[in-house]
Amino acid sequence: TAPLRSYPAGFVYIFLGLYYATGRGSDVRLAQHLFAGLYLLHLLLVFRVYCRTRKVPPYVFFFMCCASYRIHSIFVLRLFNDTVAMAILFLAVNLFLEERWSWGCLIFSLAVSVKMNILLFAPGLLFLLLKRFGLQGCIPKLCICALLQVLLGLPFLLVNPVSYLSRSFDLGRQFQFKWTVNWRFLPEEVFQHRAFHAALLLAHLAGLGLFALRRWHSRSKGSILALLKDPAQRKPPSPPFAQIVFVLFSSNFLGVCCSRSLHYQFYVWYFHTLPYLLWCTPTAKLAHMPKVLLLGVIELCWNTYPSTVCSSLSLHVCHSLVLLQLWLGTAAPLDAPPARRPAPLPKKVQ
């Protein structure tokens, strides 16, 4: 068994199945049809999350479906594994919203086994598990995630464990400057310098810490260390729908903002989370248009090939504006209870 390069074992199993299903890769049209079906399933899972939270106006769904040439290309023309990983991730988010945390952790780990960018959601998931179950109850859920990784990677771990772990989960991977979408305005020697990579990592960790302390955790509920206690001593024991989605999406967005390089297929990492991040706070109707404009500028940046100094700077400005809104305006909606489902009708009426 040869060592994998930059991808965990789940990727091998899924794409090996696609390889044989398409006649050893010869039937490209069938592969595109399969990925088109995956795209529709992905949208269904995304819309289900948005319908549960009720934060985004319906007209925004049109932009998610029809307004992104780059996303259509990533799913149906390029057949990237990023799309498979994100579809599985949104299935996990739906399970978390249904309070099926064990199954959600299992599916989340499956998404990680397809591509490791899903780990950008992991800090937010850890926070939610601690909030829901406390430290003692969180450990079994983490064991589920770890056990699946071991089982999927077992054929490779038995042959060459060091190579599998170092190559499949390569956190020190060097990216080529010619493909970067977000750092084109920097000189190439700065882009490749390890000090720059270390600074981005520190910025990412600092952002996660600040959001965990000030935005994910309500100061009215005491110290964040209270999350380590038995959840029976806290009220409410379960995070509301809005907080589950906000914590996961903002955790991923912070990672995207601090990424050492964003390639064109990486757009799918956060495209379907952007509307929620922009509309998750109370907004006057007149403020909707600037948010739509912001989505349009981000789309334009990702459709500029090759990237330019202007497009990469514009992308950072847009990311900064999204972060600023999340930092200044998220306290109120996170403390609100989830939307109630309509009460069932009496039997006589039914």
Q: Please, which pLDDT band fits residue 234 given cuts at 50, 70 and 90?
A: low
How confident is the model over 139-165, as a mean pLDDT? 92
Residue identified by tokens 């064991």 is 143
Tell me the domain boundaries of the chain.
9-157+174-328
Alpha helices in the chain (DSSP H): 9-21, 28-53, 60-66, 69-72, 81-97, 101-114, 122-159, 161-168, 188-192, 194-211, 241-257, 274-279, 288-302, 309-328, 331-335
Nearest Cα to 61, choosing from 76, 74, 73, 43?
Answer: 43
Distances (CA, A) of 297 to 16, 149, 250, 261, 317: 37, 38, 20, 19, 10
Q: What residues contact 128, with CB distance under 8 A and at least 6 apart?
A: 96, 239, 243, 244, 247, 248
**Cα separation of 68 and 271, whole Å?**
9
* Secondary structure class of 24 (helix, strand, coil): coil
| Whole-Å CA distances, 239 to 26, 37, 50, 201 | 48, 32, 16, 28
Structure-token pair, residue 201 = 């990592």
Q: Of 327, 315, 346, 155, which Cα lies nearest the Cα of 250?
A: 327
The top-scoring range by mean pLDDT among 167-176, 233-242, 330-339 is 167-176
Model confidence at 35: pLDDT above 90: yes
pLDDT per position as a tens digit, 170-210? 776 778 899 999 999 999 999 999 999 999 999 999 999 99
Give me the count of residues in the chain.
Answer: 350
What is the Cα–Cα distance from 171 to 169, expressed in whole angstroms? 6
Residue 119 has pLDDT above 50, yes or no: yes
Give the residue-averaged pLDDT of 293-318: 96
Q: Residue 138 in contact with residue 227, Cβ under 8 Å?
A: no
Q: Pick from 131-135, 198-202, 323-327 the range whose average pLDDT is largest.
A: 198-202
pTM of this prediction?
0.90
Tokens of 137: 């109850």
Among residues 257, 252, 247, 255, the alpha carbon closest in space to that of 212 is found at 247
